Amino acid sequence: MTSFTATAFIKKLADLTPFSGNQAKNQNMHFALAVSGGADSLSLLVLAAAAKKKTPHWRFTVLTVNHGLRAAAVKETRHVAKLAKAAGLASQILTYKGTIPDKDIQAAARDIRYGLMSDWCVKHKADYLVTAHHLEDQAETFLLRLARGSGLDGLSAMQSVGNRNGVTLLRPFLDVPRARLHKTVAKA
């Protein structure tokens, strides 16, 4: 299995915007990248660093979130910011300061994460929020919904283009295996 290339990444992003091919490359667009520090999301950082050389009209900003759930998160978010800087990308650490619910913490953390990132995108006029959800995440979402007894409408999987809190969400890797993203990071 080969690693993912900057050219393939550019095409994936362009295909998800209202523009096409070279027209997309020549549009001034700001992509905010959701990067947690895991190999899946680090592939966004690696690919954006390579893509920015080929798409001078595109701007990339790495967003990393400290939910306030673990002491190690401070160090992890600083590490992501350091990697972004080394790659020549702007970055922002978003820190949650509210109360964390004691029930359904994963769902609460997801809502906090998307809330902070969406607010940042609106405030800084980012056109898109890009996540590294991949093929296995897509399958897991479908199976979780099936296990919960969702009807046919509820069984739909994640969409490549969505809207979260008024921000356009792009998931360019939904048809890409996790191993390919990991290989991309390892190669970098």
**pLDDT (tens digit, 9 = 90+) per residue, 3-14?**
889 999 999 999
Q: Please determine, for residue 143, whether its predicted confidence score (pLDDT) is greater than 50.
A: no
CB neighbours of residue 134 within 10 Å: 23
**pLDDT at residue 45 tops 70:** yes
With contact defined as beta carbons under 8 Å apart, do 96 and 112 qualify? yes
Alpha helices of 30-188 — where are they, by DSSP H?
A: 39-51, 72-86, 105-123, 135-147, 178-187
Residue 160 burial (C-beta neighbours within 10 Å; 0-12, 13-18, 19+): middle
Q: Tell me, what's the pLDDT at 151?
A: 52
Q: Which residue has the higher pLDDT, 33 or 101?
A: 33
The sheet with strand 161-164 has its strands ordered as: 90-95, 58-66, 29-34, 128-130, 167-170, 161-164
Average of per-residue pLDDT across 70-86: 92
The two three-digit tokens of residue 123, written as one number: 């405030």
Higher pLDDT, residue 63 or 109: 63
End-to-end CA distance of the chain: 15
- Distance, CA of 156 to CA of 16 (rounded, Å): 19
Amino acid at 93: I
CA gyration radius, the chain? 16
pLDDT the model gives residue 145: 46
pLDDT at residue 142 is higher than 50:
no
User: What pLDDT score was predicted for residue 104?
Assistant: 82
Neighbours of 72 (CB within 10 A): 9
Nearest to 28 by CA among 63, 56, 61: 56
Both tokens of residue 42? 């680090």
- Phi/psi of residue 139, each to 5°? -65, -40
Q: Which pTM value belongs to this model? A: 0.87
